[in-house]
Structure 1
Amino acid sequence: MSRRTMEWAAKSDHLHGIPRKVVIAAVGSFAKTVSSLINTTFVHNADTLLRLVRSRPKGIPLITVSNHMSTLDDPAMWGFKGFPIFDTKLARWVLAAEDICFRNPLYSYVFRTGKCIPITRGGGIYQKHMNEALGRLNDGEWLHTFPEGKVHQDDAPIRRLKWGTASLIVRAPITPIVLPIVHHGFHEVMPEKYMFGRRPPLPLCNKKINIIIGDPIEFDLPAMSEMAIAQSRNDSFPTIGWPRTSDGLDEAAQRHLYTTLSEKIRVAMEKLRCYGKSFLKS
């Protein structure tokens, strides 16, 4: 096993779960401080997220997707009042950039015990730890992703999404509930270029954070798969060797399906972003 990815530290029974409890408690305290104490956070439609985190049907996985405006988005976006951020069983799994969060053994251990899954940016949808993410979904867990793939601090429309999240939805043994979230304000709490082109050493205070939670996105995967197969029949581009999915989709069909799914998620997120802007002006 890789020293940096530390699969063993991510297991719930690692040292009887004590390291995970310590890390989740510390991270939760930090998130509460950032979002509820030194800054002001307003949440629209929080009940939907709370209901799905606490009491969705047993065995049904949850994927939340959001824009990515700062390195603090996760965990700070879960620090709003009323969110059960200290509960290790309810806590999200999150896809985290390997080059940032897993740079050395200490970081790797902390992020692993904090329920983070390392992802190599540019490594493709069939990289090793995407299978780990699928395993978490198969267990009915909650997974959070940032499908834009990187931090964008400008208040611009949601960009074209990477295919990773769409591939997880398609390849998951049990189709997950997909919940879009858009937030605004964390880019002011942790600006990328605050002083001398660097982030501030600590989160800034007295900022206003808004979190807009949508409703679950409806997907008709069988119909979308059939359409993807039909659209891909005349494709003639070079393939890179993706395996077929469990329901028989080849690489060409997968590309069409992941594009369609990603666009549907992007549109849902963009609607929330536009609603949030009008919400802020009112």
Structure 2
Amino acid sequence: MFDDPGVLSLLMPWHWLWSEPLTEKVRWSICAKEVCFKNELLRHFFVNGKTLPVERGKGVNQPVVSIAAHTLAKGGWVHLFPEGRINYDGKLGPLRWGVGKLICQARQLNGGRDPALLPFYHSGMGDVLPITMDRLNVGKQVEVRVGELIRLDDLTCNCDSADAGVQQETWKAITARVKDALLDLERRCPPNPDQSAVAPKRDPPPS
């Protein structure tokens, strides 16, 4: 729960925060409604931190996806955790193909131009804020690896297909390419600690 905004705040120039909202340089993010918007205090905090609520299990056609797509189409920065959940074993988990739908919708809104898609991966947050602690561990190191822009034009050319099945396969193919890029970054980072043995029990992830 600290990687965004914690890690991103350290990566960004501080003057970006002072110049908002005139410059629109600070990222937009998406967070599960039941986590980030479960009470009024959290709702105000995350809304003012440019975070949009998504409802887990409600699919890719939620209004928040369209809002994020319009932001991308205008050249804005939308930061996603495409897994849609925390993986306590410290490894990259399955990605939600809503990320592919978002890319296609932004492309359609921007006259057929793909948004820039930049993968990055961090490791070490499991040491900074372990599950078993309720406060930050100061002095721990977090490594951030930033990849190359992901080429999409050979896939996004199918975004406008009249066949809904082709569209969904395109979303999945885009998501698979994103996962390949993140797995490459994961291999180049120090491993995250496996905390699955002490992780709280939870229901299976929504489809």
TM-score by length of 1: 0.60
Partner of 2:5: 75
1:131 deviation in Å? 1.5
Where has structure 1 moved over 6 Å in runs of 4 or more? none
Q: Equivalent residue of 2:189, what SS?
A: helix
Range with greater deviation from structure 2 (251-260 or 208-217): 251-260
Q: Structure 1 residue 170 and structure 2 residue 97: aligned?
A: no
User: What stretches of structure 1 of length at least 5 have no aligned partner?
Assistant: 1-70, 195-199, 226-244
- Match of 1:270, SS state, is helix
Corresponding position of 1:201: 134
State the 1:105 CA deviation.
2.1
Q: CA deviation at 1:202?
A: 2.1
The question of whether the paired residues in 1 share the 8 Å contact of 2:118 and 2:147 is answered with yes
User: Aligned pair 1:98/2:98, yes or no?
Assistant: no
Cα 1:161/1:201, change in 2 over 3 Å: same
CA distance in 2 between partners of 1:81 and 1:220 (Å): 29
1:179 aligns with 2:118: yes
Structure 1 residue 216 corresponds to structure 2 residue 146: no
Cα 1:222–1:155 shift into 2, 3 Å: closer
**Aligned residue in 1 for 2:196:** none
CA–CA separation in structure 2 for the residues paired with 1:224 and 1:160 = 24
Aligned to 1:265: 178
User: 1:110: how far off?
Assistant: 1.7
**Structure 1 residue 160 corresponds to structure 2 residue 73:** no
C-alpha distance after superposition, 1:81-106 (max 9, x if no partner): 66345242311000111101111222
Pick one of 56, 64, 77 that aligns with 1:129. 64
- Aligned residues: CA RMSD: 2.0
SS in 2 for 1:77: helix
Matches for 1:1-40 after TM superposition, within 5 Å: none
Asked whether the 8 Å contact 1:169–1:176 carries over to 2, the reply is: yes
Cα distance in 1 for residues equivalent to 2:169 and 2:142: 36
Distance 2:162 2:142 in 1: 42
Q: Normalized against structure 2, the TM-score is what?
A: 0.80
The answer to whether the aligner puts 1:140 opposite 2:75 as a matched pair is yes
Corresponding residue pairs, total: 181
Using the alignment, how far apart are the partners of 2:190 and 2:45 within structure 1? 36
Paired residues of 2:123 and 2:143 also in contact (CA < 8 A): yes
Distance 2:161 2:11 in 1: 45
How many Å separate the matches in 2 of 1:223 and 1:136?
18
CA distance in 2, matches of 1:132, 1:123: 16
Q: Whose Rg is larger?
A: 1
Matched, 1:255 2:168: yes
